[in-house]
Amino acid sequence: MLERAKNSPAGWRSNGLIKLYEQFGFEIRQGKNDINDIHPTYKNLRASISKSSGELSPAYTRHAVKMIEKLIEYKGEKNE
């Protein structure tokens, strides 16, 4: 799913991005107008997703990829 997001950031809906974040351990919190994704260990890794029922801007997908890549980097540094 991460590779798909990297290669094709357009056409994603909020439920798809939520699944992507959940695969990497992010906690999902429903806000009034948006959905907040926060990693429980690395609190600086956070994002907001619009509650829109339609397709999201590709910027949301690119941000998700960036946050997940940072998480992978942090975990790699922790294991060294």
Structural domain spans, the chain: 2-79
Query: Which pLDDT score is estimated for 79?
Result: 57
Instruction: Check if CATH label 3.30.920.30 holds for domain 2-79.
Output: yes
User: pTM of this prediction?
Assistant: 0.90
Mean pLDDT of 17-39: 93
Statement: residue 76 has pLDDT above 70: yes
Residue found under tokens 């429903």: 30
Statement: residue 4 has pLDDT above 70: yes
